[in-house]
A and B are shown apart, each in its own frame.
Chain A
Amino acid sequence: MTLESCLRRQDIWRSRKISKSSDAVATGFEALDHRLPGGGWPKGALTEILVENVVRSPLWLILPMLAALTTLRSWQAWINPPALPYPPGLDQSGIDLSKTLLIETKDHAEILWSAEQALRSRACSAVICWPSKLTQTEMRRLQLAAEGGDTLGICFRNETALRQHSMATLRMRCYELPNGMEIDFLKCRGGPLHQNISIHRLRGNTSVTINT
């Protein structure tokens, strides 16, 4: 194995070097795009979003990305959402419902299995899952599946997972703000950490302030 081939691996993280790879999908929020290496959600990788309460997972944060990816592949998989992602609401946000795949599983093993299959299949443009718990090995498996299938994976988790080590490419914690969200980057390959940004969610557009 040469050094180049080693460096080309997705799971090798070279700090300081902000990769400007095109393998990213614009988030739809200017501040977030600006802040993320590559200028958007990393494609072919797993992104972990920690929230206070998974039932209130900020779908609005990922909807512009889902709408942008719609035409890319056949499906967008939603695996075990904690409540019903409401079809009329999704439709109003520009999601193509005919590409939505709602997967409701019985147990944790099935979540992992279906998430891995969906990520690896190259039939899904994005996979959003809500695993209850996730060990380091399981996380790594999903990350590798996302790389293998070149699929954008989003994993919403409760912030109790904060102390756990993560294998995801991007890991962020969200705090709810009035009409928006403050984002703390816990892990961000190729970008600076812990420089919180806040995103405002307004009707149709977003305004952004950066705190350091």
Chain B
Amino acid sequence: MAQLYPQKNPGRIKARRHQLTLAKAKWPDALPAPTGTQTSHLWLALHLPFLPLEALGCQHKNWPTAVYTQGNREQQIVTANPTAQNSGIHTNMSLSAARALVPSLQAIQQSIELEKTYLRQLAIQAGHWTPDITLLEDGLLLNIAGSIRLFGGIPSLVDQIQIWIFKIAINPCIAVMPTAASAILCGRSGKTLIVNSKKDIRPAINKLPSTHLITDIKGRRLLTQIGARTIGDLLRLPRDGLARRFTPHLITQLDQLVGDAPDPQIIFKPALKFSEQFALDAAVSNMTLLQPLAYQLLEKLCHYLHKKHAQAEEMQWQLTNDRDEIYNIPVLLTKPNRELISLNELSRLAFENTQIKAPITAIMLQVNRFSVFTPSSKDLFENRTKSGDESNSIVEKLRNRLGKNAVHGLRVRADHRPEKAWDRCDPGQIGAALFGGARPLWLLETPKSIRVSNGQLFFGNQTLSIQQSRERICSGWWDGQTVRRDYYFAETASIKLWIFRDLDSGSWHLHGIF
């Protein structure tokens, strides 16, 4: 907000005059271009003057169309298409006035939400040229500094962007400037230009009307009062006086225009999501016939992953049959992947594992979780692939074909009860340290009772001789699976067994084989 010059305290005025001279010294006419910033930032502002119309999908060029917004008192025109403009309709006109002027006017209410969505879609498309994209209210801001060489120089890059945007937008404006603020300003002023050095910013923006920077009514009135009609006028004025009359923020804005103040931008990062599907013309009942289609979808996925510098972490197929039943076929990946060949192989195995009841009519590929792709350096002279890759790929392969629950690792658990002293785990995991006496190599998951006759233990028809050493295991009272047993080593004529006597019932059981 404009602050009025304080009249009462002359002492303070004096002090301010002193500051004023300092401020003058700070704005030399030709700024030395700082090295480095010139190459890391070159901003391309894409201004879409008819964005509200385009976002609503109004493509009728020959019919007067306008977008209005609900103001405080009346409905106001936001944008009118060229046909409507020719009939005299302009921005900020009230809707009733416009209707009076052109009775056939097609008026649609503005939707900020749709505009945002539309801009997001454009930003995703513009991601072809640079990943540094900022969404503006009325367009996009692209940092093209990193893409200049790739696309054959600034003119060629701007040409490509122009060809693309002219196909989809009405009278778009492209401005390339070394600072973000000046690019946006030029774009909004409809000034198509390319400036790539900082010292040329001032000549380029000097003539632009200052009302582009100051939008509130009070400020604009003040502008006309002091006679600062252009940005150049504002830049020439003493800084602290400007700060006092307008807002301190204006100084920052001016600094940002010429590149004296940092102007960080919020980069648009589209959420990674991949979901593609094919509807089949004729239903397919043979899974192998789906392979070529699956391959095409995977090709699309890999293309997407390469573009996004990402890897798939969780991937699944969805097959729909003619009864509208859906089969979800997850592809189990032990590590993030983006190789077409291996993804195709894993998908094939996962398909083999699936039984379908009715012919398939649609196939869909979804990736829900992504991870950043970090390329690993490979040895120039190493022909063999790294054994880590192989070991992961065999587990992946087996799991996709046999199911996740068919492939496990084994580990020792810290529990005294023999049947709980181990568990299945993900391959490669390390278990607890071992304790206790000698353990058998085979364990019967359910102990087998041993026949006792005349004080002798029998294994089949063979008598068992028991060694004297005994291991008592009493444990598990806390989870209701109490074990109170005495374990012994026993031998038949040919094999060595691990047996126990239940201390509660006194019965004998076979638990392991050495």
Query: Contact between A123 and B393 (Cβ–Cβ < 8 Å)?
Result: yes
Q: Does B242 contact A (CB under 8 A)?
A: no
Query: Contact between B442 and A55 (Cβ–Cβ < 8 Å)?
Result: yes
Q: Which of A92-113 contact B (CB under 8 A)?
A: 92-93, 97-106, 110, 113
- Tell me how many residues of B have a C-beta within 8 Å of chain A: 46
Query: Contact between A98 and B428 (Cβ–Cβ < 8 Å)?
Result: yes
Known contacts A97-B411, A117-B397, A176-B495; is-contact A89 B440 (Cβ 8 Å): yes
CB A203 to nearest CB in B, in angstroms, measures 9
Query: Contact between A90 and B441 (Cβ–Cβ < 8 Å)?
Result: yes
Residues of B within 8 A of A57 (CB): 442
Query: Contact between B398 and A97 (Cβ–Cβ < 8 Å)?
Result: no
Nearest chain B residue, comparing its CB with the CB of A102: B408
* Interface contact tally, CB-CB below 8 A: 144
Residue among A55, A89, A92, A101 making CB contact with B395, cutoff 8 Å: A101
Residues of A within 8 A of B412 (CB): 87-88, 91, 97
Residues of B within 8 A of A110 (CB): 401-402, 406
Residue among B390, B405, B442 making CB contact with A56, cutoff 8 Å: B442
Nearest chain A residue, comparing its CB with the CB of B443: A86
Q: Does A12 contact B (CB under 8 A)?
A: no
Query: Contact between A88 and B421 (Cβ–Cβ < 8 Å)?
Result: yes
Q: Does B236 contact A (CB under 8 A)?
A: no
Nearest chain B residue, comparing its CB with the CB of A83: B442
Q: Which of A72-94 contact B (CB under 8 A)?
A: 73-75, 83-93
Nearest chain B residue, comparing its CB with the CB of A100: B410
Query: Contact between B434 and A113 (Cβ–Cβ < 8 Å)?
Result: no
Query: Contact between A88 and B422 (Cβ–Cβ < 8 Å)?
Result: yes
Query: Contact between B409 and A73 (Cβ–Cβ < 8 Å)?
Result: no
Q: Does B309 contact A (CB under 8 A)?
A: no
Describe B's contact surface by its main secondary structure. Answer: mixed
Q: Does B476 contact A (CB under 8 A)?
A: no
Query: Contact between B387 and A74 (Cβ–Cβ < 8 Å)?
Result: yes
A97–B406 Cα distance when bound, in Å, is 17
Q: Does B15 contact A (CB under 8 A)?
A: no
Interface bracket on A? 35 or more
Query: Contact between B406 and A117 (Cβ–Cβ < 8 Å)?
Result: no
CB A54 to nearest CB in B, in angstroms, measures 11
Query: Contact between B424 and A102 (Cβ–Cβ < 8 Å)?
Result: yes
The listed residue with most A CB atoms (<10 A of its CB), out of B398, B495, B496, is B398
Query: Contact between B442 and A93 (Cβ–Cβ < 8 Å)?
Result: no
Query: Contact between B387 and A97 (Cβ–Cβ < 8 Å)?
Result: no
Query: Contact between B441 and A60 (Cβ–Cβ < 8 Å)?
Result: yes
Query: Contact between B443 and A101 (Cβ–Cβ < 8 Å)?
Result: no
A99–B491 Cα distance when bound, in Å, is 31
Residues of A within 8 A of B398 (CB): 101, 103, 114, 117-118
Residue among B406, B422, B491, B514 making CB contact with A60, cutoff 8 Å: B514
Q: Which of B424-474 contact A (CB under 8 A)?
A: 424, 427-431, 434, 436, 438-445
Residue among A86, A117, A124 making CB contact with B442, cutoff 8 Å: A86
Q: Which of A27-43 contact B (CB under 8 A)?
A: none
Query: Contact between B443 and A97 (Cβ–Cβ < 8 Å)?
Result: no
A56–B387 Cα distance when bound, in Å, is 34
A88–B439 Cα distance when bound, in Å, is 6
Q: Which of B458-514 contact A (CB under 8 A)?
A: 491, 493-496, 512-514
Residue among B402, B408, B496 making CB contact with A105, cutoff 8 Å: B402
Query: Contact between A83 and B444 (Cβ–Cβ < 8 Å)?
Result: yes
A111–B140 Cα distance when bound, in Å, is 58
Nearest chain B residue, comparing its CB with the CB of A111: B402
A73–B394 Cα distance when bound, in Å, is 12
A102–B398 Cα distance when bound, in Å, is 11
Q: Does B225 contact A (CB under 8 A)?
A: no
Q: Does A158 contact B (CB under 8 A)?
A: no
Interface bits A164-180 vs B (CB < 8 Å: 1, else 0): 00000000000011110
Query: Contact between A178 and B493 (Cβ–Cβ < 8 Å)?
Result: yes
A11–B418 Cα distance when bound, in Å, is 44
Query: Contact between A86 and B429 (Cβ–Cβ < 8 Å)?
Result: no
Q: Does B391 contact A (CB under 8 A)?
A: yes
Residues of B within 8 A of A92 (CB): 434, 438-439
A212–B434 Cα distance when bound, in Å, is 43
Q: Does B56 contact A (CB under 8 A)?
A: no
Q: Does B102 contact A (CB under 8 A)?
A: no
CB A61 to nearest CB in B, in angstroms, measures 10
Give 25 A-B contacts (CB < 8 Å), ordered by A residue: A73-B387, A74-B388, A74-B428, A75-B395, A83-B442, A83-B445, A86-B422, A86-B439, A86-B441, A88-B434, A89-B438, A89-B442, A89-B512, A93-B441, A97-B409, A98-B429, A101-B407, A102-B424, A103-B398, A103-B407, A104-B406, A104-B408, A106-B402, A122-B387, A123-B387
List of 10 A-B pairs having minimum Cβ-Cβ separation, nearest first: A74-B391, A176-B494, A86-B443, A87-B422, A89-B439, A88-B439, A123-B390, A121-B394, A123-B391, A123-B394
* Extra pairs beyond A57-B442, A106-B402 (5, CB < 8 Å): A59-B442, A63-B441, A91-B434, A97-B431, A101-B427
Enumerate chain A interface residues (CB-CB to B < 8 A): 55-57, 59-60, 63, 73-75, 83-93, 97-106, 110, 113-114, 117-118, 121-124, 176-179
